[in-house]
Chains A and B, each alone.
Chain A
Amino acid sequence: MTTKLGDWLNDRSGWRTIYGTVFLRKIPKINWAYTLGSATLFAMVIQIVTGILLTLYYVPDPQLAYASVTYITNELPFGWLIRGLHHWGASAMVLLVVLHMIRVIVYGAYKYPREFTWITGVALLLLTFAFGFTGYLLPWDQRAYWATVVGTKIGEVTPVFGDTIRALMLGGEEISGLTLSRFFGAHVWVLPSVLLLLVGIHLYLVIRNGITSVPKRGE
């Protein structure tokens, strides 16, 4: 039954070729460190799913943000789980992305023909940090507030454009409702759009170029 449906779909979409290309690739003999990229991808999927669920209740409004987060955490069934997954998943993702990068450095996997994969990867690393930074403000508690004060003050240190950069981040001179809504917009719309595009390119390149083998002594 399922094979019949699969055949029917395959005739009309050729999905088996795509499935084969993506999942039945030939790979060199590798080790567990090579799973870090997939682990990051998995963490990203968790972040997307739990993030979407959080937006069902979260409100980026200075009067209500904290109350809505408290409501999610303390009153909704499994709200603590969804928020907890998103909270700890964020840290896990930063950790995994960094470990993944270390593996690529150590095994020299950034070399020809994978330089562009590496460049998109660096962009994805920075995007992950941007996700962490913008998401940190959203609970709108003291820790969030002061972390954003410090974070945007770091931006201010930039030569020449420092003040402009901080004002652009905050949407004004000080943290306000404008800061909250633009951090929310960035966290939920801007960054995910760029992330999905780059992840798409990154994965395409991984499949297109194949993965590196573990370098041997003397290589």
Chain B
Amino acid sequence: MAEETSRPNDADEQAPAPEGPAQDDPRDQEVTRRKFLITSVGAMSGAMAAAVAVPAIFYVAGPVKEQGASEEWIRLGSASSVETGSKTLMKATVERRAGYLTTTEELSVFVSTDNGTDFLALSNICTHLGCRVRWVEEQDGFFCPCHNAVFGPDGSVLEGPPPRPLDRFETKVEDGQIFIRKL
């Protein structure tokens, strides 16, 4: 050790190879103590960084896989309150769990029926950027206030930027109550 430190401290200070291009210098191929130590320290540092970085990726991405809304049937209300041939806006509160917090959220759904037994439930969330659409009876369409999108009574896109029709829910009627579920 003492001998090591008393010497000029690095290989950089060695005289350049007297002749020939540097690549042919056999010392470049040689594993010197210095090269070995640099590589070892580098490898250990990399391993330690990875020991934190890899778990960190899973940790950061943790909540992504959490299921927000439940897959259960949600009760909207009485089936008799839906007027035939029109759109009725029905609301339900759903519980949403996000990490350590459970919040209630209001879900609004346009429900319609032609015969009183088969129901169509459409989400009021515009498929473009998530604004809330409203039903305009006189023009027979859903209008989005944000970018002037228009959806038909069946939810299909008539005008504007939305990439797909309004989302539909699966419906069922039990004891005169309408239930919906995510499709």
Contacts and interface: CB of A to CB of B under 8 A. Distances in A.
B62 interface: yes
B100 A53 contact: no
Contact of A67 (B2, B56, B61, B100): B100
Interface stretch (A22-30, A115-123, A135-143): A22-30
A77 B56 CA distance: 9
Given A56-B60, A76-B59, A85 B52 contact: yes
Contact of B9 (A24, A46, A64, A78): A24
A77 B52 contact: no
Contact of B62 (A64, A70, A77): A77
Contacts of B9: 24, 26
Interface string A1-42: 000000000000000000000001011110000000000000
Given A28-B5, A29-B2, A78 B100 contact: no
B99 A57 contact: yes
B1 interface: yes
B182 to A, nearest CB: 24
Chain B contact surface mostly: helix
A71 interface: yes
Interface residues of B, number: 18
Contacts of B1: 29
A179 B48 CA distance: 36
Contacts of A169: none
Contact of A79 (B10, B52, B62, B101): B62
A82 interface: yes
Nearest to A42: B48
B56 A53 contact: yes
B58 A77 contact: yes
Interface string B1-25: 1100100011010000000000000
Interface string B40-72: 000000000000100110111111000000000
Contact of A50 (B52, B60, B61, B63): B52
Contacts of A82: 55-56, 59
Contact of B10 (A24, A49, A67, A77): A24
Contacts of B12: 24
Contacts of B52: 46, 49-50, 85
A56 B55 CA distance: 14
Interface string A59-93: 00000100110110001111101100100000000
A85 B56 CA distance: 12
Interface of A: 24, 26-29, 46, 49-50, 53, 56-57, 64, 67-68, 70-71, 75-79, 81-82, 85
11 contacts: A24-B9, A29-B5, A46-B52, A49-B56, A53-B59, A64-B100, A64-B101, A77-B58, A77-B59, A78-B58, A79-B59
Q: Which 3 A-B pairs have the closest CB atoms?
A: A78-B55, A67-B100, A71-B100
Interface of B: 1-2, 5, 9-10, 12, 52, 55-56, 58-63, 99-101
Given A53-B60, A57-B99, A76-B63, 17 more contacts: A24-B12, A26-B5, A29-B5, A46-B52, A49-B52, A64-B101, A67-B100, A70-B100, A71-B99, A71-B100, A77-B59, A78-B56, A78-B58, A79-B59, A79-B62, A81-B55, A82-B56
